[in-house]
A and B are shown apart, each in its own frame.
Chain A
């Protein structure tokens, strides 16, 4: 037992660590890790991954909420979209064959690798919100590090919500946080400052993955013997990873992450096609 728990913990700590320093989240690495290395059925791997994503989000988002980076009202307005997507995605995952899920995972990895390889510019802070965002009081303030609070506006809630449905769908179906897509929705489409988008995305990931996990739990696709060490390991790995991230320049490692993602995409794609 100790050997298997040790191996699962090691795999999960590694996935959580790389997930945190790459900004992609542990789910992206734990699902292929469990299926390819652990020979665990992909449905069970996704169920375990979703629970570990909830744990990572809860641990990481607490400090951002306390320090005022998370826009709670934007998060709650968009959670309707992400949770709808997650419930549909997790339900679809239940009826899809393992090979189809592996193929979708490979495709998601390729798209993620493309976005990780391309650089993003900083957006300007919006001065005012559009009428809908004003009515819902979505604008906020963020600390600038010198004791001042900088106000920012919000725009295009429906556009952001549409992308959030897709993010939720991917999360529930493939067992990932889909944080990168959530950040794109808030940063590029809704005009939120990048760090506010990251903090708010982190907060929303917990509820999105939790909704997906609930479907997997009630369907009976969660194995406690796999999910328990995975949740513990990914959380610990993400904790260490986020500490390292604060003190190290990991931008130089970006292409290494891209290479790992391409490798995973090829491996998962090959499994799906060859039926191994």
Chain B
């Protein structure tokens, strides 16, 4: 336990800080790109949201990936938000492998359950 605790205390803050910094850079970059490359699209999107409601943002992963490949500025923003959301969750994956390596059965099962629940969450979101 001492060994895995030491590894977690060293690596967890690094993973968390790196995710916040990377996403902050991407979000600032995306906002600047949106202002320069597609002027007017930001304001149009906000107004659409205010008038049409949540239906205005409904977007599938497929269309998003296609827009990201075309280098659309708002896709950069989505990548920034995904980095922010997924890296702390990736931390759970990191601890799962660490506990597996240390043969800590109880915590391997606990972290595996959390990972399973995250997958269930994505699936529920897709059908909802």
A residues contacting B by CB (< 8 A) are 1-2, 4-5, 38-41, 43-44, 51, 54-55, 57-59, 61-63, 65-66, 68, 72-73, 76-77, 79-80, 83-84, 86-87, 90-91, 94-95, 135-137, 206-207, 210-229, 231-232, 235
Contacts and interface: CB of A to CB of B under 8 A. Distances in A.
A213 B88 CA distance: 12
Nearest to B75: A224
A39 B20 contact: no
A142 to B, nearest CB: 13
Given A5-B42, A58-B17, A226-B49, A214 B125 contact: yes
Contacts of B53: 41
Given A72-B9, A218-B125, A57 B88 contact: yes
A76 B16 CA distance: 16
B27 A231 contact: yes
A55 B9 contact: no
B92 A79 contact: yes
Contacts of B106: 135-136
Contacts of A44: 49, 54, 57
Contacts of A227: 77, 81
State the main secondary structure of chain B at its contact with A. Answer: helix
B114 A207 contact: yes
Contact of A211 (B5, B54, B118): B118
Sorting the interface of chain B by its residue count into under 10, 10 to 19, 20 to 34 or 35 or more gives: 35 or more
B123 to A, nearest CB: 8
Nearest to B126: A218
A251 B117 CA distance: 39
Interface string B48-78: 0110011011111100000000000010011
Contact of B89 (A55, A211, A226): A211
Given A227-B81, A231-B81, A215 B121 contact: yes
A137 B99 CA distance: 13
A1 B92 contact: no
A14 B50 CA distance: 22
A225 B23 contact: no
B89 A210 contact: yes
A234 B48 CA distance: 24
